[in-house]
Amino acid sequence: MTAGTTDTYDQIGIREDLSDVISNISPEEVPFYSNCSKEDVTNTLFEWQTDSLAAVDTDTAIEGADATFAPASPTTRLNNVTEIIEKTAAVSGTVEATDRAGRAREMAYQILKRAKELRRNAEHHLVGISQAAVAGSDSLARKTASLQTWMATNTSRGVGGADPAGDGSNTPTDGTQRAFTEALLGAVIDSIYVEGGNPDVLMANAFNKRAITGFSGNADEVKHNNTDKTVINAVSVYVSDYNTISVVPNRFLRARDVLVLEMDYWSVGVLRPLQNMEIARTGDAEKRQVLMEYGLCAKQEASSGIVADLTTS
């Protein structure tokens, strides 16, 4: 370097170079919540009914005989409760007065973040934990029964595992974990078919999604593309003996469970949709509360199934 040259190490007053892009790789996909239909409910306790046809029989009628009558079987009345999930944000007046990189208004940015976080929490509450319904009280928060508490008909569990009652009132008992195999999946799909279901979504966490990719039935689907020299080794559709099922990875699903779902029979009852409410100021800060109130509706749990108690690593 020429003597006397001014370089950046000596310079005072160089402006900072701060990107206006804020990078965030936190996952936002909520596949179960997104695939559920949304239905308005008008009470914290919401109810629905299920029914089924009588079992087939071999009875025949005698010619000329009087008709006989048997009482009709009643419908089954089920219910769940809504739960409230919320996030808050408070931003000082000074912060809003400053010139910030990456966002025009700090409160708007924080509200958007909280809304995304709430959707992730809802997904976790619906399928990421095994949670029975809690009616709540003045000192106890309500909790909606998660999907696992409804699965009682088409199930595969490890040694020591036990099904719940199937009405959201209690949780299943975890059993000994075992490796996920195509035979376990096939047995649950068979059971669903016998019950009358037609599942269309197979949902798994990362480790067991990889296990599905390794099923022997997929051996012919692993292809080498000589044009762009890529190797395709993934399963996005599983073709069972009865129908075609989409394979959907879910980061928030309870890792030891694989769900086999007919999505038409699962919905989210919405008492209060996602909303942003301004809280009264008590000083030099803007305050907001973002919340939603919802609950899970299992219209017919026999339409779906679960392979539980799977290894996760």
Q: Which of 79-88, 104-113, 275-284 shows the lowest per-residue confidence on average (mean pLDDT)?
A: 104-113
Domains (range + CATH), the chain: 31-47+76-307 (3.90.1690)
Q: Are 174 and 181 in contact (CB under 8 A)?
A: no
Whether pLDDT at 3 is above 70: no
How many CB atoms neighbour CB 159 within 10 A? 9
Going by pLDDT thresholds of 50, 70 and 90, the confidence category of residue 220 is very low
pLDDT in tens, 5-57: 555 556 565 555 545 555 555 667 899 999 999 999 999 999 999 998 888 88
- Average pLDDT of the residues of the chain: 88
pLDDT digits (tens, 9 = 90+) for 91-123: 888 887 777 665 667 888 889 999 999 999 999
Look at residues 140, 93, 142, 6 and name the one whose alpha carbon lies nearest to residue 282: 93
Q: pTM of the entire structure? A: 0.85
